[in-house]
Amino acid sequence: MKIQIAIQQRYSTRSYQNTAIASGVQAELQDHLASLKTGPLGSRIRLGLFAASEHDRSSLRGLGTYGFIRNPAGFIVGSVQASEHALEDYGYIMEQAILEATRLGLGTCWLGGSFTQSSFAEKIEKRDGEILPAVTAVGYPAPATRERDLFRRAARSDTRLPWQKLFFDSGFETVLTTENAGEYQLALEMVRVAPSASNRQPWRIVRKGQAWHFYCQRTPGYGKGSLVFNLLGLADLQRLDVGIAMCHFDLTNRELGLNGHWRVTDPGLPVPDEKSVYIATWDMDSRAV
C-alpha cells in the first residue's frame, strides 16, 4: 500500500472488535516497530506492541487522555530519551508505526497523556532519562462504528485548516500556491490531513529556496504553559503534532523519489506572533545528474 493511501485511510478508531490481533499481523507489526530506532532529529526511541489489560483500558482517563476508547486489543507503547527534540522525534516515529499498522488493516488512535509514571512505562521497561509522551490504541475497528467513522472521514477535509493557513512562500506574508508548490504539492496535502492533538493542526511550513522550514504555531491557552496541561503533567503535545507533519512530508516525498534530510538551523524569518516557534528544516538531497 502506498504511503499516501495509508495516510488517507487512517483515522482515529475509538471502538474496536473484541478480537486479538492475528499472530502473523502482530509479528509483522512487531518487526516494523523494532526497526524504528532513531527519530529524524537524532533521539533514540524504543517501541513495543502490548496486549491491552482491563487495567490499561480503565486507567486511560486518569492519565489525561480524552474521549472513550472501547475494547482496544493492544497498545503501541514507546519511550524516548529526553532531549531537545525528543517530542518531534517521537511524533514522527510513532506516526510511522501507525501508518504501518494501517497498512496491516488495523485501526489506531493516538492517546496523549502523562504515561511516564504509569503501568505503560512498566510494559516498555522505561529506563532512566526516558519519557513516554503518548501511546497508541490498536486493534480491528468495530463494524458498527466503522460506517460512522468512514462518514466522518469523508467529511474530514472540512475539519482541517485550508492550505493557505498552513503553507507559505519565502516568508509568512505570502501564501504558497498549489501551483508554486510543484512536485511537493502531494506531500503538503498529506501534512494538511495529518492527525493532531484535539485536531489543532499547529504545523506551519515556509518554503525558501530549496529548504522547507517547519514551525509550531501554538494554540493560545492549549498545551505548554496552560493550567490544565501543567496540572496533568502532559507532554507538549503540539510538538508531537509537528513531528507527525514531518513524518507525512518526508515519507510522501521519499515515495515520490524526492529524498531529503533534516537539520535544525533557524533561518531567522520573522514569525507572525510569539506563539510561533521554529522547529526544523527539510532540505532536498542534491539530485544526481
Ligand X SMILES: Cc1cc2nc3c(=O)[nH]c(=O)nc-3n(C[C@H](O)[C@H](O)[C@H](O)COP(=O)(O)O)c2cc1C
**Residues binding ligand X (CB under 6 A):** 11-12, 14, 65-67, 109-112, 134, 156, 195-199, 237, 240-241, 244
Nearer to ligand X, 165 or 261 (CB): 165
Which CA distances in Å does 183 have to 3, 187, 189, 257? 16, 8, 11, 10
- Report the nearest approach of ligand X to the CB of residue 88 (Å): 11
Neighbours of 208 (CB within 10 A): 14
Nearer to ligand X, 233 or 267 (CB): 233
C-beta separation of 191 from 205 below 8 A: yes
Nearer to ligand X, 134 or 258 (CB): 134
Contacting residues for 209 by C-beta, under 8 A, at least 6 apart = none
Nearer to ligand X, 140 or 207 (CB): 140
- Report the nearest approach of ligand X to the CB of residue 279 (Å): 15
- Report the nearest approach of ligand X to the CB of residue 241 (Å): 5
Nearer to ligand X, 74 or 112 (CB): 112
Spatial distance between the Cα atoms of 222 and 238, rounded to a whole number of angstroms: 9
Closest CA relative to residue 47, chosen from 117, 138, 177? 138
- Report the nearest approach of ligand X to the CB of residue 201 (Å): 9
C-beta separation of 136 from 14 below 8 A: no
- Report the nearest approach of ligand X to the CB of residue 200 (Å): 9
Strands (E), the chain: 45-51, 74-81, 107-112, 130-131, 134-139, 167-169, 203-208, 211-217, 260-263, 276-284
- Report the nearest approach of ligand X to the CB of residue 30 (Å): 22
Nearer to ligand X, 14 or 213 (CB): 14
Nearer to ligand X, 72 or 258 (CB): 72
Contacting residues for 271 by C-beta, under 8 A, at least 6 apart = 172, 215, 277, 278
Neighbours of 259 (CB within 10 A): 12
Query: Which residues does residue 175 pair with via DSSP β-bridges, in sequence order?
Result: 168
The amino acid present at 72, given as its one-letter code, is P
- Report the nearest approach of ligand X to the CB of residue 269 (Å): 26
Closest CA relative to residue 78, chosen from 123, 141, 20? 123
Looking at beta carbons, which residue is closest to ligand X? 67
